Structure 1
């Protein structure tokens, strides 16, 4: 499995986020969806609001701010969902690719450098996942800005009060209804791992190992952690933690039961 990453020279000459287009493949590089190929030195993951369902940033307002942020940074490739995944894909191959790679996006959130620009706070579930992955898998003091602070507060709330309770209380939602249980499951698994695996490299290794669609579970001998993605169970030191099941997958590439 390979990611389409937008080359720096192509990204920096744009005036807005461009839509993925098979006729512009020279603007991209393909990177394997594996640790090491995608890294914080070379790659940025851009987190942003979708202002409309038809296009995330029609007037280029958010792009301008992201462009300014990245202009003075050292990097080579950038990943933006609108630009790097076929959107409203017309062919079966494109649809299948998009669904498969959406299931692997937490790897990018953990392994890439993180760039974000948010307008006024809105409870978007994808944004909460992106901030959670960045916050809970960053060593040392991670960068914070005022526009990220509400999501940071909600990550702390999820750790103390529970994922579903926080999402419900704050009114988090997503435009694609099928994504909801998937994102809740990812968040619940991430919060569980942040509590029982304090070492970030080990936490990332376990989460990366669980991401592939073919993996239904994991027994990690060094930590004694047993993860069952089918039943949504993490067992550790005699304790059982539950999350929304993430396996097996249906024909569309999403966990069965996600609608």
Structure 2
């Protein structure tokens, strides 16, 4: 039986017996007709395909945060552009925010982060350990908000966690992504915290986490002690760049299934049920 991979209203992929009726571009956050001339030209040039997504209908595309294509849906695009409330709801998360930026990571800190390797694909042991940390917090933790940077490894980690968390009867209250560089991460920070989740889960590149974390800490009710991260965030250099107070209490998992925690600027690691080591 043929199945199709579509994007749902939460931005996550799922399999469907029916094909999508609209196409979209993940990075550009726009949707349009399957025969859109602009999209077909981009595909013919060899681009676009890696960011290609499909939706069951327009309502799903809008709910996922995508805007109409100006080329193939001109009337719908004009309507979107002329309606501030709708435009604001669908604006991409890296759009400049009116609020002042949080104190930035110093240039020397960014230089260190830029020198770190990007996230490696997550392991099964890492995902299991992360789920175990959250499982230990139940029944207090059921609804989580997921945030990730836009690299492929972080996106895949977030999607796999969401699937596993839902399979264990958990709820994903929000799925938010952000760029490594932006004028302000306030819009993304608000999207991540507005559902008032029981906990947060983050998959991100080191350089794509320190700045948003500072914004979260200074401009929202986000609590690092209720936040769980994949392995790339458990690096003392990330903590130093973001600030020890910013990430105090953040916990996560390592690729081999151990756990880590940020404590007063240190990153301590421990085997499941074991003691920590700095």
Which of the pair has more CA radius of gyration?
A: 2
In the superposition, the TM-score normalised over structure 2's length comes to: 0.30
In the superposition, the TM-score normalised over structure 1's length comes to: 0.31
Task: Give the number of the structure whose residues are more often strand, by fraction.
Answer: 2
